[in-house]
Amino acid sequence: MTEESLNPIVYSKNVIEFVTVANEFCNLVEHAGQEATRSFLNKTQKILPLLYLKVSVLEDLNSYEELGLEKFVSEVDYNYLQQKMMNLLGEFDDFQEVFDPGMQFSDEPLSASISECLADIYQDLKDFLMTFRTGDELVMQEALWVCQDNFKNYWGQRLVNSLRAVHNLMYGDYDLDQAMNQERKSEDVEAESNKPEWLNQLFKDQGE
């Protein structure tokens, strides 16, 4: 394939940079639990603003509605990764939600979860990345449009909400380095036993 024949949208500088950052975010989520809580939050604090920037500067695209894109992240995958992050964050996972439309109908403060927000972002980005690897430029462009649309209508808000919570933890008076209690250790063991096969293969390949 010559340089002139490459799709000028899906191979543009902004898209390649977005793909790179999205891949780094997915790697962070997939390896959650392999480092201390503060280290994980430190990396999350840095990559979320960069991810927001890279997707917000992408060119607006048109959708090819007749294309049906495959979903790669199953409910099992989602639950496994969300559980790993929830176990890692422990009592620091929950935060007060201020942008939920349901707040106006609630007498009590609404809570949200950092791990759930990150898992939601991961699900869209991983599906996008896996589709983008097909090399079919029409499918790649549609996947990019879907990812952008979901960012505008869903996971972009989840991103900024979780970043607010992470900022509060990083600069608040919290003992983020405290050891996990036995209950959280047990939860990690259970989550590990339910690890999806594709994730086992991912770690094996990276080890090689």
Q: Return the SS3 of 94.
A: strand
Write out the two tokens for 4.
Answer: 């002139």
pLDDT tens, residue by residue, 159-169: 999 999 999 99
Q: What pairing do the DSSP bridges indicate for beta strands 110-113 and 94-97?
A: antiparallel
Q: What percent of the chain has pLDDT over 70?
A: 75
Contact 49, 102 (CB under 8 A): no
Identify the CA nearest to 99 among candidates 164, 25, 172. 164
Does residue 37 surpass a pLDDT of 80? Answer: yes
Say what the pLDDT of residue 18 is: 98
Q: How far apart are CA 192 and CA 168, in angstroms?
A: 29
CA–CA–CA angle 179, 164, 14 (5° rounding): 110
Residue 113 burial (CB count, 10 A):
19
Q: Which structural domains are found in the chain, ordered by start?
A: 3-62+70-200 (1.20.120.1550)
Q: How far apart are CA 73 and CA 164, in angstroms?
A: 26
Does residue 206 surpass a pLDDT of 60? Answer: no
Q: Residue 42 is which amino acid?
A: N
Say what the pLDDT of residue 9 is: 87
Contact 141, 10 (CB under 8 A): yes
pLDDT band of residue 110 (cuts 50, 70, 90) is confident
pLDDT tens, residue by residue, 9-34: 899 999 999 999 999 999 999 999 89
Q: What is the mean pLDDT of the chain?
A: 84
Contact 165, 95 (CB under 8 A): yes
pLDDT tens, residue by residue, 51-90: 999 999 999 888 876 678 999 999 999 999 999 999 999 9
